[in-house]
Amino acid sequence: MNNTIYNLASLGVQQLIPYKAGKPIEELERELGLTNIVKLASNENPIGPGKKALAAIQQALSGLALYPDGSGFSLKQTLSNKYSVSPEQITLGNGSNELLELVARAFLTPLHEVVFSQHAFAVYPIVTQSVGAKAVVVPALNYGHDLDAMLKAVTDKTRIVFIANPNNPTGTLLSQDSVERFIKALPDTCICVLDEAYFEFVSSLEAIDSIDSIEWLKKFPNLLITRTFSKAYGLAGLRVGYGLSSPEMADILNRVRQPFNNNTLALVAAEAALNDEEHLQETIRVNASGMLQLTEGFKALNLEWIPSSGNFVLVDIKQSGQDIYEALLRRGVIVRPVANYELPHHLRISIGTETENKVFLKALAETLK
Ligand SMILES: *Cc1c(COP(=O)(O)O)cnc(C)c1O
C-alpha cells in the first residue's frame, strides 16, 4: 500500500478513528437477504416525520432549481419566536453535528485542549482531532459526566468543553443546576458547548427541574447550545440542527459556515415541524411507553440498564456486545454495539414502535439463551 498520502495528512487526521454509524437497513438486506428488518440503532424517530413537515416538503419540491435561502431567514424567525432568542443568536447547521464541527474549526488550533467525558458522544473526539487540538478525556462517574473532575481538567489551554445532556450513548442526565454552576465556574476564555440533541424528550419528563438553559445565554457569552431536528422531530435524513448562543459567537460560527449548508427541503420541513405540536407529543408518548416496554422486557430477562432520559437505552448484556449484536443481525434486528465508547458489554437500543420493540425483545431472549 502507498502510505505517502497518509503521511501527508495532518497528524490529528492520521490518528483519527472514523465515526461508526448504525448499520443501514439496505446494507443488512444486501448482506443477509433478509426483509422486515427492524432498525433500533441510530435514535431515529420510529413514527417518522410529521404530516406538516411532509406537506411542506411536497410544496417546496417545484422550487428545487433555486439555491436555498442561505440565511435561513424563515426558520430562524420561527425558532426566534418559539424560544425567545433573537435571530442573530441562531446558527443553522447541516445536522447539529455541523455545529460541533464549526465551533471546533472556528476556535481551536493545535495549541488548544478540549475537555469532554469518557463515554460521551463520539463526534467530540473527531472534531477535536481533525483540527489537531488535544482531547482531554475525563473518566465518567456512574456512566455520566463528572462535572467536578471536568472542571479540574480545565487549564488555560482549554478552549472548548463539550457536555452532552442527556448524554448519548449512556442516556444520563445532569441537573440543570449542576450544569449552570459548571458554566459559571469556567474561565471566560473557555467555550461550553451544551449538546441538547434530546432536549424535547427531557422537557417532557415530569421529574426534572424546569430551568431553561436558554436563559443562561443572557449571562454566558461563551455558551453554545446545540439542538437538532434529527431525533424528536423525525428529520434525521434531511440533516438540520441549530446552535443558540450570544450574537458574537453566532457571528463567528456563521463566518466559517458554508453559504448553503441547509438545503431547501430541510429548511421548510424543520420550520413546519416546529409548528407541529401534535406530532411532537405523539413522539414523546410513543417514546415513554416504548421505554417502559423495553425496560420491563429487560427486567424479565434479568438484565440491568442505565436509566435514560433520551429515546434510547443502554442495556448491560453481561457478555460481548459485539457477539450479541451480530446474533441479532442474523435475526433481522439492528442495534448499536458500543465497545468504541469503552462499553464492551452494553448495547444501545433506540426506542421503537410497540411492534419493533416486541420483535427486538423476542430476538434478544433467543440470542441470550
Ligand atoms: C444524534 C446526536 C447529535 C446530532 O445529530 P444530527 O443529526 O447531526 O443533528 C448530536 N449530539 C448527540 C449527543 C446526538 O446523539
Instruction: Give me the CATH number covering residue 37.
Output: 3.90.1150.10
Is 47 contained in some domain? no
Atom of ligand 1 nearest to the CA of 98: 8
Task: Write out the residue range of the structural domain in which residue 333 sits.
Answer: 12-41+278-368
User: pLDDT value at position 81?
Assistant: 97
pLDDT at residue 1, rounded to an integer: 56
For residue 319, the model assigns a pLDDT of 95
What pLDDT does residue 23 have?
Answer: 87
Residue 338 maps to a domain: yes
- What pLDDT, on the 0 to 100 scale, is given for residue 209? 58
**Same domain (yes/no): 143, 256:** yes
- How many domains does the chain divide into? 2
> Ligand 1 centroid to 196 CA: how many Å?
8
Q: Report pLDDT for 213.
A: 95
Query: 336 lies in a domain?
Result: yes
| Each residue's pLDDT tens digit, 98-110 | 999 999 999 999 9
- Rounded Cα distance between 280 and 267, Å, is 18
Of 257, 275, 293, the last residue of a domain is: 275
> Which of 192, 129, 188, 132 lies closest to 164 in space, CA to CA?
192
Verify that 284 and 225 share a domain, yes or no.
Answer: no
On whether both 164 and 217 belong to a single domain, the answer is: yes
Q: Take atom 13 of ligand 1 and give the residue whose Cα is closest.
A: 168
Q: Are residues 33 and 117 in the same domain?
A: no
* Residue 3 pLDDT: 78
For residues 229 and 312, membership in a common domain is answered with no
Which of 368, 363, 316 minimizes the C-alpha distance to 344? 316
Residue 350 burial (10 A CB sphere; 0-12, 13-18, 19+)? buried
At 226-237, the pLDDT tens digits run 999 999 999 999
Element (H, E) at 83: helix 73-83
**Do residue 251 and residue 315 come from a single domain?**
no
Cell representation of residue 149: 473532575
pLDDT in tens, 345-356: 999 999 999 999
Question: Whose Cα sits closest to atom 12 in ligand 1?
Answer: 197
Same domain, 185 and 325: no
- What pLDDT score was predicted for residue 11? 87
Cell 433520551 belongs to which residue? 310
Q: Residue 34's pLDDT is what?
A: 87
3-state helix, strand, coil split of the chain in percent (to 5) is: 45, 15, 40
Give me ligand 1 centre to Cα 357, in Å: 22
CB 155 within 8 A of CB 113: yes
Spans of the chain below 50 pLDDT: none
